[in-house]
C-alpha cells in the first residue's frame, strides 16, 4: 500500500493483494415504481445477502462493513449500515459505518474497505450503497421553532439534491461542459440512444442475470431483533427488472425540450434516470482468497479522487482517471474497459473528448442513461459490472469512475487476475 497526495492532482492509493470477490445488486426501480415503498435499508439487505452468497462466504466471515446512502429517506436511516449488517447475518460484534461522497459514495466504500484491509484492521469487508429516491422526503427546516405568519416553508429534498447552491444546478454543469466542447443536442441524443441499445443487447444475452437478484416480498428476521417486513406491490413475483429502461429512437428524442438551458442539449431522454436500488460487493485480501479457495472477479489495484471547478462538475472523471493511471504507471491505451457514470450525455462526451477514449470500450453494457443512477449505489454497481465484463472479455485492466456533485471525481483501477 502506498498513498499519494497532491493539492492540484488529488489523492489516491495503490493496494497490494486486495480483491473484489463478487457482488450483487437489486433491480433498479423507476421513480414511484415497484421499489418505491421499500426502505433503503431493506434494499441494502437484499443486495448484501445476495452478494455474500455469490462471493461464496458467510456473514460470519466479514470483518468490516462500510455502506453508503446519500438522501436519507426512511425514519430509521440513522441506523442504516448497522441494520444492513445485523439483518444480513454479519455478527453483532462487527461495527458498521456510513460513508458519503455523493455520487462517488459507492466507490468510497470499496476504497475504505481496501484501506481497512491494507491497514490490518480487517481481512474482508462488505461494501455497498443504497438509495430510495422515491422516498426522498419533503421537509420543513426549522419547524420546531415555528414560522412567521404566512411563511410556512417546505423543501423537496429530491429536487434540492439536484442543485449545488455554491455554483449551479447539476444539469447546468452538463450544459457548461457542452458549451466548452461544442457538444450538440444531436450528439448527446446519439450517445444516449447508444447507451440504451447497449443495455438492451446486454439484457437480451443474459448479462445482467449474473448481478441482478430476484426480489419478492419477505420478512428479514434475526434472533433477538424486531423483524423487518418488506412488501412489494401485490402480485409482483421475482421482480428483476430495471424499470427505467425504455427503447429510444432519435426522431422522438429530438422533439423533447431541453431542461436546463433554452438553447441547451440536455433533455429527459439523455440524462440519467432517477431510480431506487442497492448494490453490494465483498472485498478481501489474498490470504482469505487462498484459504477459502475463492475465485475473485478482479484485483483492486489503485484508487484516486480529485476535485475541480464545480461549474463543470461532470468532468470530474478526467483528473481522477489521469491520476490513477499515473500512480499505476499505465496509460489510457493500457485500459481494456471503462465504466464512467452517465450522469448526463454531455458530461460523458466531455470526459471522452478530454481523455481521448475509444467509445467502443466504454460502458459496453449501457449506463445510467438507460438503467438509472441511484446515487449511493452507482459506484458499487459500476465496479461490479466492470469486473464481471472484464472476466467475460479476458481484459487485463479496467477503470470505473464517476463525476461527483460539487466538482469532484473518483476512479478505481481494477486488474483481471486471470488475464
Residues 318-349 have pLDDT tens digits of 999 999 999 999 999 999 999 999 999 999 99
403 carries an active-site annotation: yes
351 carries an active-site annotation: no
The torsion angles phi and psi of 155, rounded to 5 degrees, stand at -125, 140
Does residue 372 form part of some domain? no
Q: How far is CA 366 from CA 191, 308, 363, 386, in A?
A: 10, 26, 5, 11
Q: Following DSSP, what letter does each residue of 167-219 receive, concatenated?
A: S-BHHHHHHHHHHHHT--HHHHHHHHHHHHHHHHHHHHTTGGGGTBPPB--EE
Determine what percent of the chain is predicted with pLDDT higher than 70.
100
Q: How many domains does the chain fold into?
A: 1
Lowest mean pLDDT among 144-148, 167-171, 232-236, 379-383: 144-148
Does residue 178 form part of some domain? no
Would you say residue 149 has pLDDT above 90?
A: no
Catalytic residue among 127, 351, 362, 403: 403
Would you say residue 4 has pLDDT above 90?
A: yes
Closest CA to 289 of 135, 67, 123, 175: 123
Catalytic residue among 32, 103, 172, 351: 103
Determine what percent of the chain is predicted with pLDDT higher than 90.
97
> Burial level of 235, CB count in 10 A (0-12/13-18/19+)?
exposed
Average pLDDT of the residues in 199-205: 98
Beta bridge partners of 25: 212, 279
Instruction: Say what angle helices 185-204 and 345-355 make with each other, to 10 degrees.
Output: 90
Would you say residue 1 has pLDDT above 90?
A: no
Burial string for 291-308 (b: 16+ CB within 10 Å, else e) reads eeebebbbbbbbbbbbbb
* pLDDT averaged over every residue in the chain: 97
Lowest mean pLDDT among 148-157, 297-306, 335-344: 148-157
Average pLDDT of the residues in 373-388: 98
Lowest mean pLDDT among 26-35, 150-159, 391-400, 403-412: 150-159
Closest CA to 294 of 50, 57, 120: 57
74: domain CATH number is: 3.40.47.10
Q: Following DSSP, what letter does each residue of 346-402 receive, concatenated?
A: HHHHHHHHHHT--GGGBSTT--HHHH---HHHHHHHHHHHHHHHHHHHT-SEEEEEE
Would you say residue 74 has pLDDT above 90?
A: yes
> Burial level of 286, CB count in 10 A (0-12/13-18/19+)?
middle
Average pLDDT of the residues in 189-207: 98
- What region, left, alpha or beta, does residue 211 occupy, with left being phi > 0 and alpha being psi -120 to 50 degrees? alpha
- pLDDT for 132-143, tens place per residue? 999 999 999 998
Determine the pLDDT at residue 337: 98
- What region, left, alpha or beta, does residue 235 occupy, with left being phi > 0 and alpha being psi -120 to 50 degrees? left
Would you say residue 150 has pLDDT above 90?
A: no
Domain extent for 45: 16-135+212-240+273-292
Determine the pLDDT at residue 354: 98
Whether the CB-CB separation of 273 and 33 falls below 8 Å is answered with no
Does residue 399 form part of some domain? no
Cα separation, 24 vs 404, whole angstroms: 23
Would you say residue 59 has pLDDT above 90?
A: yes
Cα separation, 410 vs 227, whole angstroms: 37
Determine the pLDDT at residue 359: 97
Amino acid at each position: 500500500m502506498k498513498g499519494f497526495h497532491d493539492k492540484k492532482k488529488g489523492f489516491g492509493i495503490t493496494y497490494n493483494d486486495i480483491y473484489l470477490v463478487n457482488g450483487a445488486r437489486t433491480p433498479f426501480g423507476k421513480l414511484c415504481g415497484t421499489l418505491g415503498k421499500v426502505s433503503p435499508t431493506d434494499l441494502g439487505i437484499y443486495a448484501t445477502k445476495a452478494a455474500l452468497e455469490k462471493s461464496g462466504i458467510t456473514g460470519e466471515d466479514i470483518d468490516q462493513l462500510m455502506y453508503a446512502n446519500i438522501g436519507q429517506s426512511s425514519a430509521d436511516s440513522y441506523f442504516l449500515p448497522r441494520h444492513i449488517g445485523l439483518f444480513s447475518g454479519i455478527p453483532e460484534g462487527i461495527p458498521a459505518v456510513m460513508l458519503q461522497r455523493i455520487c462517488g459514495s459507492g466507490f468510497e466504500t470499496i476504497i475504505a474497505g481496501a484501506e481497512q484491509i491494507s491497514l490490518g484492521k480487517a481481512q474482508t469487508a462488505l461494501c455497498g450503497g443504497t438509495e430510495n429516491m422515491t422516498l426522498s422526503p419533503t421537509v420543513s427546516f426549522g419547524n420546531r421553532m415555528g414560522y412567521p405568519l404566512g411563511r410556512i416553508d417546505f423543501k423537496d429534498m429530491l429536487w434540492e439534491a439536484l442543485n449545488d447552491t455554491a455554483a449551479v444546478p447539476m444539469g447546468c454543469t452538463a450544459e457548461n461542459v457542452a458549451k466548452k466542447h461544442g457538444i450538440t443536442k444531436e450528439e448527446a441524443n446519439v450517445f444516449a440512444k447508444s447507451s440504451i441499445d447497449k443495455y438492451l443487447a446486454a439484457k437480451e444475452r443474459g448479462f445482467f442475470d449474473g448481478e441482478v437478484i430476484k426480489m419478492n416480498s419477505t420478512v428479514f428476521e434475526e434472533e433477538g431483533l424486531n423483524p423487518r417486513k418488506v412488501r412489494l406491490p401485490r402480485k409482483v413475483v421475482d421482480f428483476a427488472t430495471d424499470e427505467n429502461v425504455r427503447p429510444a429512437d432519435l426522431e422522438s428524442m429530438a422533439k423533447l425540450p431541453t431542461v436546463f438551458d433554452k438553447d441547451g442539449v440536455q433533455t429527459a431522454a439523455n440524462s440519467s434516470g432517477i431510480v431506487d436500488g442497492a448494490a453490494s460487493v465483498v472485498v478481501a485480501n489474498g490470504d482469505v482468497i487462498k484459504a477459502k479457495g475463492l475465485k475473485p472477479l478482479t484485483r483492486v489495484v489503485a484508487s484516486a479522487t480529485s476535485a475541480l471547478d464545480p461549474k463543470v462538475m461532470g468532468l470530474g472523471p478526467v483528473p481522477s482517471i489521469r491520476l490513477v493511471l499515473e500512480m499505476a504507471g499505465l496509460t489510457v491505451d493500457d485500459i481494456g474497459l471503462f465504466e464512467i457514470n452517465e450522469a448526463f450525455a454531455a458530461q460523458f462526451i466531455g470526459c471522452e473528448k478530454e481523455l481521448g477514449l475509444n467509445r467502443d470500450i466504454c460502458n459496453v453494457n449501457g449506463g445510467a442513461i438507460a438503467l438509472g443512477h441511484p446515487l449511493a449505489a452507482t459506484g458499487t454497481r459500476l465496479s461490479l459490472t466492470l469486473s464481471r465484463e472484464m472476466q467475460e472479455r479476458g481484459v487485463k485492466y479496467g477503470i470505473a469512475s464517476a463525476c461527483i456533485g460539487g466538482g469532484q471525481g473518483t476512479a478505481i483501477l481494477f486488474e483481471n487476475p486471470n488475464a
